[in-house]
């Protein structure tokens, strides 16, 4: 191609030019060596308008040498392969009048040289651009009109709107349609203040967007109104002593009021009244009011447009607390199953709160009841438990301080007496009965039987406290006793029984008998003396004490274990009781030597036990260890014993 272009640029003669002209007329195209700018260059600087033209999209591009015309292509997407040919202008500009308003299109322009061979006539298409056709703007959105938030106008605002040069604001009545609205102003911004709106009157607003292509449809309507000062509050009411912390003031709500001011004067003069508080609510608590003083109250409303007038007056006063009751008294066991609490009435008290504790400290007390008047009986008290009581009066202002305390306890059927004990011969010709005292008992009923069955018992007497002497007993008979506590609630239950018998003159029904034992064996004496409460054994007129081999010296059975030669002698026992004492017959203990010294413990065998028994007697110096019968206990006896023990012979 470059070569062909260069050839055409060389000087040619008339004959050559004539031939070329003839060739064009004959063939319709230039021969290849005579074709200039084939294919032409791709048009550069392609531009398209973006909404600035209402009749279409204007495209412009750079003129390319050799181009006899241009092909304009368009697509809704950036896809050359599916683009369509929409025009073939001869110049370097084109208006796409088929474009839809507001739709963005992709454009390409291809230069065409019709003088080139068919396959070499079109330029490239790498010059894409986008554009869209202008049109009237869309209707504005987000329209709002202020509702009394400003006092000088209604603030009308809306969202920004693309392709809009001017906004037109229309206004109608509260319920009118757009057709009845009037244009009240224009704005290049998104806000307009309606200064002609009358205070408190509701209007309806629309906005129309406008540009060079025309006007939009109207926006959706929105209502608004210009603010005005609130009305004067009415129906002001103040409490009259029903509240203790202050005075509560209420009034009717006022439309458009942002804030209320409460005024007060103790003399009922509005001119000297002072404001004591502001609130957005229709109520106020005057916590600065002094108890018992009557005040006059007024209320005024206000908003950004100013204050209202002053309301009607109303008087009120703060309540006072009542005094604590005096003269609190709780009963001490006077009521069966309960405690009655009394107190002096308090003027102005609506009711009384009764408090109780098991200690004399009201801080740990619990409220147990509310009573309209005195007295109150506490039937929840545990019998025989001491409780402390306080009373608080209650008025409209709440409870008073605590009264002084008083203690009391409830009575019930007494408990069964415990630790019943009947003497066993401790008293002469009688039985003394004792028991653990029971709280709340007026007296005790004593029952007796000769069998341990309460069903067979009969009452033999009463007493206000232990002990109880039963002097109707027969000597030698064992009786069983029960005790029942009694008070004004009635009889309690019987506790466990106990048997006892009367003391009698001491007589030995069994005497000690003479006893003979082999040395090292046990010796025993016993006696029987009904009614005896104490015993003592004697040997050869000397009292015995437990220790060593002596056991039971102060009982009715004496044991000597083991018996030694020195234990031989005369034994007797003394017995004593409530009705006197006596001595038994004497009995003789004989201690015989063992028949075989090697079997010292006389168990029939000669073993280590005999050695242990011998040495015990020898160390004690007992005559049974004088096995050689020489009258002394010494080493000769040990030698004699071991010779016999080792020989296993006597």
- Residue 599, domain member (yes or no): no
Per-residue pLDDT, 10: 33
Per-residue pLDDT, 109: 97
Instruction: For residue range 29-38, list pLDDT tens digits in order.
Output: 445 445 678 9
Per-residue pLDDT, 333: 85
Asked if 365 and 346 sit in the same domain, the reply is yes
Q: Which of 394, 411, 428 is the last residue of a domain?
A: 411
User: What's the token pair of residue 209?
Assistant: 């967007």
Asked if 523 and 587 sit in the same domain, the reply is yes
Instruction: For residue range 254-292, list pLDDT tens digits in order.
Output: 988 999 999 999 999 999 999 999 999 999 999 999 877
- Residue 628, domain member (yes or no): yes
The alpha-helical segments, DSSP class H, found in 573-624 are 608-619
Asked if 407 and 449 sit in the same domain, the reply is no
Residue 538 CB contacts under 8 Å (≥ 6 apart), including other chains? 544, 571, 572, 573, 574
User: What's the token pair of residue 56?
Assistant: 């279409």
What CA–CA distance (Å, rounded) separates 316 from 300?
17
Per-residue pLDDT, 621: 85
Instruction: Report yes or no: 102 and 58 within 8 Å, Cβ to Cβ.
Output: no
Which of 146, 306, 325 is closest to 231 using CA atoms?
Answer: 306
Antiparallel, parallel or unpaired: β 57-60 and 515-518: unpaired
Per-residue pLDDT, 8: 31
Instruction: Report yes or no: 365 and 357 within 8 Å, Cβ to Cβ.
Output: yes
281: left (phi over 0), alpha (psi -120 to 50) or beta: beta
- Residue 437, domain member (yes or no): yes
Instruction: For residue range 134-163, list pLDDT tens digits in order.
Output: 899 999 999 999 998 888 999 999 999 988
Q: Which of 107, 132, 157 is the last residue of a domain?
A: 132
Residues 76-84: contacts with CB under 8 Å, at least 24 apart: 76/103, 76/105, 76/106, 77/106, 78/106, 78/128, 79/106, 80/108, 80/125, 80/128, 83/108
Nearest-10 crossing angle of helices 635-647, 608-619 = 170
- Residue 510, domain member (yes or no): no
- Residue 508, domain member (yes or no): no
- Residue 432, domain member (yes or no): yes
Strand partners, 291: 318
Q: Which residues of the chain have pLDDT under 70?
A: 1-35, 594, 650
Asked if 99 and 171 sit in the same domain, the reply is no
What CA–CA distance (Å, rounded) separates 208 from 140?
7
Asked if 151 and 125 sit in the same domain, the reply is no
- Residue 269, domain member (yes or no): yes
Asked if 47 and 120 sit in the same domain, the reply is yes
Structural domains counted in the chain: 8
Which of 349, 425, 357, 421 is closest to 392 using CA atoms?
Answer: 349
- The structure's pTM equals 0.38
Per-residue pLDDT, 28: 47
Task: Quote the domain boundaries for residue 68.
Answer: 37-132
Q: Which of 392, 411, 430 is the last residue of a domain?
A: 411
Radius of gyration from C-alpha coordinates of the chain:
67
Asked if 403 and 423 sit in the same domain, the reply is no
Asked if 51 and 127 sit in the same domain, the reply is yes
- Residue 394, domain member (yes or no): yes
User: What's the token pair of residue 590?
Assistant: 């004989």
What CA–CA distance (Å, rounded) separates 41 from 58?
22
Asked if 528 and 564 sit in the same domain, the reply is yes
Asked if 53 and 100 sit in the same domain, the reply is yes
CB count in 10 Å sphere of residue 89:
15
Per-residue pLDDT, 20: 39
What CA–CA distance (Å, rounded) separates 557 from 563?
15
What CA–CA distance (Å, rounded) separates 617 from 597?
12
CATH number of the domain bearing residue 395? 2.60.40.10
3-state secondary structure of 567: helix
């Amino acid at each position: 191609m470059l070569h062909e272009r260069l050839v055409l640029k060389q000087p040619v003669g008339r004959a050559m030019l004539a031939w070329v002209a003839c060739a064009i007329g004959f063939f319709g195209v230039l021969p290849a060596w005579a074709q200039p700018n084939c294919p032409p260059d791709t048009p550069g600087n392609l531009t398209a308008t973006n909404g600035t033209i209402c009749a279409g999209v204007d495209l412009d591009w750079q003129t390319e040498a050799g181009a006899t015309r241009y092909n304009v292509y368009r697509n809704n997407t950036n896809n050359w392969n599916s683009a369509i040919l929409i025009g073939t202008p001869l110049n370097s500009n084109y208006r796409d009048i088929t474009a839809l308003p507001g739709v963005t299109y992709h454009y390409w322009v291809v230069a065409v040289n019709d003088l080139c061979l068919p396959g070499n006539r079109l330029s490239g298409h790498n010059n894409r651009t986008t554009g869209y056709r202008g049109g009237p703007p869309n209707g504005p959105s987000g329209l709002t009109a202020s509702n009394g938030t400003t006092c000088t106008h209604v603030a009308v605002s809306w969202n920004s709107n693309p392709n809009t040069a001017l906004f037109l604001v229309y206004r109608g009545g509260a319920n009118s349609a757009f057709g009845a609205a009037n244009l009240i102003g224009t704005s290049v911004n998104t806000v307009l203040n309606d200064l002609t709106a009358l205070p408190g009157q509701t209007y309806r607003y629309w906005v129309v967007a406008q540009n060079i292509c025309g006007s939009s449809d109207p926006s959706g309507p929105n209502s608004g109104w210009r603010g005005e000062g609130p009305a004067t509050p009415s129906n002001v009411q103040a409490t009259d002593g029903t509240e203790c912390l202050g005075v509560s003031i209420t009034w009717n709500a006022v439309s458009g009021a942002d804030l209320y001011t409460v005024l007060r004067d103790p003399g009922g003069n509005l001119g000297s009244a002072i404001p004591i508080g502001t609130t957005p609510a229709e109520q106020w608590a005057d916590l600065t009011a002094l108890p018992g003083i009557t005040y006059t109250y007024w209320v005024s409303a206000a908003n950004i447009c100013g204050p209202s007038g002053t309301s009607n007056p109303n008087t009120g006063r703060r309540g006072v607390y009542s005094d604590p009751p005096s003269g609190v008294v709780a009963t001490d066991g006077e009521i069966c199953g309960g405690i009655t609490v009394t107190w002096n009435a308090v003027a102005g008290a609506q009711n009384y709160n009764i408090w109780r504790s098991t200690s004399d400290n009201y801080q740990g007390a619990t409220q147990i009841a509310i009573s309209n008047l005195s007295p109150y009986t506490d039937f929840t008290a545990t019998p025989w438990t001491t409780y402390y009581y306080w009373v608080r009066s209650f008025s409209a202002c709440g409870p008073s301080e605590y009264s002084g305390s008083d203690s009391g306890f409830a009575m019930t059927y007494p408990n069964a007496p415990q630790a019943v004990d009947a003497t066993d011969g401790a008293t002469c010709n009688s039985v003394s009965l004792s028991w653990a005292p029971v709280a709340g008992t007026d007296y005790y009923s004593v029952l007796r039987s000769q069998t341990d069955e309460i069903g067979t018992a009969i009452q033999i007497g009463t007493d206000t406290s232990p002990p109880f002497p039963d002097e109707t007993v027969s000597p030698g008979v064992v009786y069983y006793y029960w005790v029942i506590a009694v008070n004004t609630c009635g009889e309690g239950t019987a506790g466990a029984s106990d048997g006892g018998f009367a003391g009698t003159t001491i007589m030995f029904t069994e005497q000690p008998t003479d006893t003979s034992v082999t040395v090292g064996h046990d010796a025993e004496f016993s006696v029987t003396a009904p009614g005896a409460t104490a015993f003592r054994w004697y040997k050869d007129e000397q009292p015995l004490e437990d220790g060593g081999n002596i056991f039971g010296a102060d009982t009715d059975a004496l044991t000597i274990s083991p018996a030694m030669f020195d234990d031989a002698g005369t034994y007797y026992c003394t017995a004593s009781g409530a009705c006197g004492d006596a001595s038994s017959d004497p009995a003789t203990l004989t201690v015989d030597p063992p028949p075989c010294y090697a079997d010292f413990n006389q168990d029939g065998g000669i073993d280590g036990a005999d050695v242990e028994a011998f040495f015990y007697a020898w160390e004690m110096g007992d005559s049974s260890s004088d096995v050689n019968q020489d009258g002394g206990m010494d080493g000769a006896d040990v030698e004699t014993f071991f010779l016999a023990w080792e020989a296993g012979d006597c």
